Amino acid sequence: MLQEVKNFLRIDGVEEDAFLISLISAAKIYIKNATGIIADETNDLHKLAINLLVSHSYENRLPVGQGEKLAFSLESIIFQLKYCYVATPANFNAYLVDGVVNLTWDANIESDLAGYEVYQDSVKISAVITNSYQITGLLAGTYLFQVLAYDESNNQSKLTKAISVEVV
């Protein structure tokens, strides 16, 4: 992310790197506090918000919220992040106990969260409203599991990273 911010700000050299890293960290915290969503560096809208927040802080040398008001475009992006995106479930885990695959993850905090979809080998196998799921009756083999979250407007998060479980 540092190199992207430096390109966005048109900064060469390494003299400002430590300061920029602290501004990137502050921008991610701002996004989390403003939206309830952890900044996702793979999402273009998140990256744009981080770049704009860092740019604002870098140019004004003041913390966000002091000095000039945030630009309308940045306020709009933060609004979209807050209401149009669903966070990917965090701390996804899959493990085998007595032939049963147990899936667990942290509950999402979106106020309009509708539930989660559970995937086995890239195929949706269930929709649940809790942050856990059990799979029984699997034949011996290796299976990949993932989860995504969705809200009442059917906006979906990205899938979690796939976790492999070997059933014996």
pTM for the complete prediction?
0.62
* pLDDT at residue number 23: 93
Selection from 43, 48, 45, 67 nearest residue 57 by Cα: 67
Distance CA 57, CA 25 (A): 12
Residues β-bridged to residue 132: 104
Selection from 60, 91, 104, 143 nearest residue 26 by Cα: 60
pLDDT tens digits, residue range 23-57? 999 999 888 888 777 788 888 888 888 998 999 88
Q: Is the pLDDT of residue 63 over 60?
A: no
Please report, for residues 34, 67, 143, the alpha-carbon distance to residue 147 in angstroms, rounded to integers and kept in the order given. Answer: 25, 42, 14
